[in-house]
């Protein structure tokens, strides 16, 4: 069950020649793949490209109708290896995953693919997760392209250019026998626009054709002596062929302007923000007409020397807009201009920041400084921000110290929250332990209120991150991974490694039923049946299959006592070998997406529906707040104490509560707090429900009136 359905949107994939497509970038990429005659598509989900996998999954019937095979790959390495089908056959294939972490995982397959080269077009669509909205280390795809000599496309964030780069990218791959990487930034994934569509193309050479007429070319396999020739072929044949195609087809774009003594070179993905920054500096209009000559690199690797020389000739200086570091493009431009004895001054990271996202404000200031250096008469403010730009700083200053920072945390009702609550309670008895974390929602445990976890090394590598601590000690190390990470890499790299090396530590596998952190996609152990995938494969069965003997599965993580006792047993049992705990409960977000429509429909149909909510009796609450400190649920907050003789605020449950019950469980485990109560909200009550409610109200009213009379008498 993915984060959202694209069943309605994928209908636009049927559009034919001359029709107009209107929609989002990811859907446009899918349409472009079909127009390009792709034969197979695979990939692994991850922001900002997760929705592409969801769209492809929802469009599977359309793909099958065109003879296109789609697979949800086990990992990015699996996806990249899938492109092997294009090595010997004229099959166009595309895979997609998140960069740079996904590219890290896939790098072995990508290096082999780029070394031997391809016959059919091979495209890697990477979601470039860089900048303020990113959740990963700040690195770039560019280094991978340079390392393996994979051509890197970075299209302008508008749909006609993105679609054209997909189609031209396959042609570039085929003409140069080299895989192509299409870098799609966050904004490009979600940009909306229009373009004129073409008919979808059924592959002329199919996967069945390849299977029934197998081919092989030993020179494309990375073994000596062929492997020594691959590098020479890259330089002598593939690179020149790629450069010629880029030039002949005008993949990069140049525009003139009246400030001809200077110029700006930019990555294509920076175009929209750069144009807005130029407009705010009075150097461009709202329709993209710039006074400063522009060279837009829709292909950022390989760079075309002849185009750079032509753009720079006669100019005093150019500014290179290259987001991220190191400054690969800037360094290359220095080299090519010096070799050609072109003395144009090259600016880049000396004016724009070395690292960090190039937002509109950053570029606006940088462009102002650059123009002021060489065309001072045309610089509106010399790079100084106008008075209006200080409003944000003034607002932040006004809020300073008055609004508390809120670290990211688990969703309301998340089944992972009680796992770490239990671990905190165990630490009260056994003391703190070294905890090796992993990628996924559970990584929020490193932040308040849990403050658990020391390191994270990669998806499925939680157990491997604890491998060095496999030594004799009074304490055991705890490692954590999710079910997504377990199937991605953890079964072999963490659990298998622990078995092989006779680790005596504890591995905690959080099984919430989906690859939840990437949008709720199904995986091998998903608890619900899937019509197109094999699910319901138990994690405990898998770990026992590689040799784990001590394994426990907890099917309800909200049972705090069981969760706590199992953790304590794993940390204290005399039994040797790795201890694996599988903690199961469905991701609450996915559960609510599934259950809420069913509940709403039942209510509309007049059926009796009971929903549970929790609350706090303000008269009983002591103000201890252990419920908040040991769970941190967003539905828990504080409220003024109704008792004028008590100053401590009381706990309050707000309406976002989903009735998971953890707050009450935590309070009982911590201080035996009696202030929590559970309320049942009944829609479409039966006559029996109404009679029961009437009796309860009468009894409660009787005691309330008696209490009021006594209070009045004492007053």
pLDDT by residue (tens digit) across 6-43?
888 999 999 999 999 999 999 999 999 999 999 999 99
Task: Give the per-residue pLDDT at 21.
Answer: 96
Other C-beta atoms closer than 10 Å to the C-beta of 577 total 16
Nearest to 356 by CA among 316, 325, 398, 382: 325
Banded pLDDT at 668 (limits 50, 70, 90): low
- Give me the pLDDT at residue 715, please: 59
Separation of alpha carbons 190 and 49, rounded Å: 10
Do the Cβ atoms of 351 and 379 come closer than 8 Å? no
What confidence tier does 666 reach under pLDDT thresholds 50, 70, 90?
low
Residue 671 has pLDDT above 50, yes or no: no
Rounded to an integer, what distance in angstroms lies between the CA atom of residue 595 and that of residue 650? Answer: 32
Cis check: omega of the bond before 48, within 30 degrees of 0: yes
User: Is 676 a residue whose pLDDT tops 90?
Assistant: no
Tell me what pLDDT residue 384 has: 47
Residue 31: closest CA among 169, 197, 190, 205: 197
* pLDDT single digits (tens) 535-561: 999 999 999 999 999 999 999 999 999
Task: Give the mean pLDDT of the chain.
Answer: 91
In the chain, the percentage of residues whose pLDDT exceeds 90 is: 72
Residue 526 has pLDDT above 50, yes or no: yes
Instruction: For residues 486 and 313, give the distance between their C-alpha atoms in angstroms, rounded to a whole number.
Output: 55
Q: Is the pLDDT of residue 509 over 70?
A: yes
**Band of residue 382 on the pLDDT scale cut at 50, 70, 90:** very low
Per-residue pLDDT of 242-292, as tens digits, reads 999 999 999 999 999 999 999 999 999 999 999 999 999 999 998 989 999
Quick one: pLDDT band at residue 660, thresholds 50, 70, 90?
confident
Write the DSSP assignment of 194-221 as a string of letters. Answer: EEE-------SS-HHHHHHS----GGGS
DSSP 3-state of 610 = strand
What are the b/e assignments for 105-125, b being 16+ CB within 10 Å?
A: bbbebbbbbbbbbbbbbbbbb
**Is residue 4 scored above 90 in pLDDT?**
no
pLDDT tens, position by position, 454-465:
999 999 999 999
- Is the predicted pLDDT of residue 393 greater than 80, yes or no? no
Identify which has the larger pLDDT, 307 or 707. Answer: 307
Tokens coding 525: 């152990």
pLDDT digits (tens, 9 = 90+) for 91-115: 999 999 999 899 999 999 999 999 9
User: Which pLDDT band, with edges at 50, 70 and 90, does 672 fall under?
Assistant: very low
Structural domains in the chain plus CATH codes: 9-248 (3.40.50.970), 253-392 (3.40.50.920), 417-590 (3.40.50.970), 609-684 (3.30.70.20)
> How many residues are recorded in the chain?
715
Residue 600 · residue 683 · CB < 8 Å: no
**Edge-first strand listing for the sheet containing 506-511:** 455-456, 435-437, 478-482, 506-511, 579-584, 550-554
Residue 130 has pLDDT above 90, yes or no: no
CA atoms of 472 and 264, how far apart (whole Å): 61
Q: How many other CB atoms are found less than 10 A from the CB of residue 104?
A: 17
Task: Answer yes or no: is pLDDT of 584 > 70.
Answer: yes
pLDDT of amino acid 383: 43
In tens, the pLDDT along 620-646 reads: 888 888 788 878 888 888 899 988 888
């Amino acid at each position: 069950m993915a984060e959202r359905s694209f069943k309605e949107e994928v209908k636009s994939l049927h559009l034919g020649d001359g029709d107009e497509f209107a929609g989002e970038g990811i859907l446009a990429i899918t349409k472009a793949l079909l127009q390009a005659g792709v034969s197979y598509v695979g990939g692994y989900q991850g922001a900002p490209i997760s929705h592409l996998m969801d769209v492809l999954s929802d469009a599977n019937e359309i793909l099958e109708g065109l003879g296109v095979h789609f697979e949800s790959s086990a990992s990015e390495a699996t996806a990249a290896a899938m492109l092997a089908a294009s090595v010997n056959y004229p099959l166009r294939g595309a895979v997609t995953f998140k960069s740079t972490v996904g590219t890290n995982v896939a790098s072995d397959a990508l290096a082999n693919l780029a070394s031997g080269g391809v016959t059919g077009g091979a495209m890697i669509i990477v979601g470039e997760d860089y900048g303020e909205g990113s959740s990963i280390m700040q690195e770039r795809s560019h280094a991978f392209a340079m390392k393996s000599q994979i051509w890197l496309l970075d299209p302008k964030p508008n749909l006609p250019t993105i679609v054209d780069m997909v189609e031209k990218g396959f042609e570039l791959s085929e003409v140069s026998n080299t895989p192509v990487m299409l870098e799609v930034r966050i904004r490009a994934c979600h940009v909306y626009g229009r373009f004129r569509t073409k008919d979808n193309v059924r592959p002329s050479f199919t996967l069945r054709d390849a299977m029934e007429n197998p081919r092989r070319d030993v020179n494309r396999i990375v073994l000596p002596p062929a492997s020594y020739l691959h590098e020479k072929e890259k330089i002598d044949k593939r690179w020149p062929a790629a450069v010629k195609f880029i030039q002949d087809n005008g993949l990069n774009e140049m525009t003139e302007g009246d400030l001809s003594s200077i110029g700006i070179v930019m990555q294509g993905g920076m175009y929209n923000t750069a144009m807005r920054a130029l407009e705010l500096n009075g150097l461009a209009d709202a329709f993209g007409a710039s006074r400063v000559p522009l060279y837009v690199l829709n292909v950022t690797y390989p760079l075309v020397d002849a185009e750079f020389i032509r753009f720079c000739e006669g100019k005093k200086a150019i500014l290179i807009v290259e987001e991220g570091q190191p400054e690969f493009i800037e360094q290359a431009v220095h080299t090519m201009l010096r070799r050609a004895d072109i003395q144009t001054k090259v600016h880049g990271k000396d004016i724009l920041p070395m690292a960090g996202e190039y937002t509109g404000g950053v570029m606006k200031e940088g462009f102002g400084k650059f123009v002021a250096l060489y065309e001072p008469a045309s610089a509106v403010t010399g790079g100084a921000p106008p008075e209006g730009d200080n409003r944000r700083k003034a607002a932040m200053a006004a809020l300073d110290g008055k609004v508390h920072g809120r670290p990211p945390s688990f969703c309301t009702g998340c089944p992972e929250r009680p796992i770490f609550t239990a671990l905190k309670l165990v630490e009260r008895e056994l003391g703190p332990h070294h905890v090796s974390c992993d990628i996924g929602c559970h990584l929020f445990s490193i932040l308040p209120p849990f403050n658990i976890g020391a390191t994270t090394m990669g998806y499925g590598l939680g157990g491997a991150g604890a491998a060095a601590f496999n030594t004799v000690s009074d304490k055991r190390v705890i490692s954590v991974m999710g079910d997504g990470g377990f199937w991605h890499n953890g079964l072999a790299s963490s659990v298998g490694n622990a078995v092989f090396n006779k680790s005596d530590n504890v591995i905690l596998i959080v099984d919430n039923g989906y690859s939840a952190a990437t949008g709720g996609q199904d995986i091998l152990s998903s608890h619900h049946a899937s019509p197109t995938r094999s699910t319901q494969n138990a994690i405990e069965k898998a770990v026992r299959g590689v040799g784990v003997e001590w394994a426990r599965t907890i099917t309800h993580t909200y049972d705090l006592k069981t969760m706590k006792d199992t953790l304590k047993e794993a940390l204290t049992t005399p039994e040797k070998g790795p201890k694996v705990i599988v903690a199961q409960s469905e991701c609450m977000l996915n559960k609510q997406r599934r259950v809420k429509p069913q509940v709403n429909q039942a209510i509309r149909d007049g059926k009796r529906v009971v929903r549970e909510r929790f609350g706090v009796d303000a008269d009983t609450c002591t103000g201890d707040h252990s419920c908040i400190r040991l769970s941190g649920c967003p539905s828990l907050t504080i409220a003024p104490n109704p008792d004028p003789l008590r100053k401590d605020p009381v706990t309050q449950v707000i309406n976002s509560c989903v009735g998971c019950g953890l707050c009450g469980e935590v309070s009982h485990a911590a201080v035996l707090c009696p202030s929590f109560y559970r309320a049942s909200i009944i829609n479409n009550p039966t006559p029996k429900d109404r009679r029961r409610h009437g009796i309860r109200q009468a009894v409660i009213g009787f005691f309330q009136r008696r209490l009021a009379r006594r209070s009045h008498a004492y007053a």
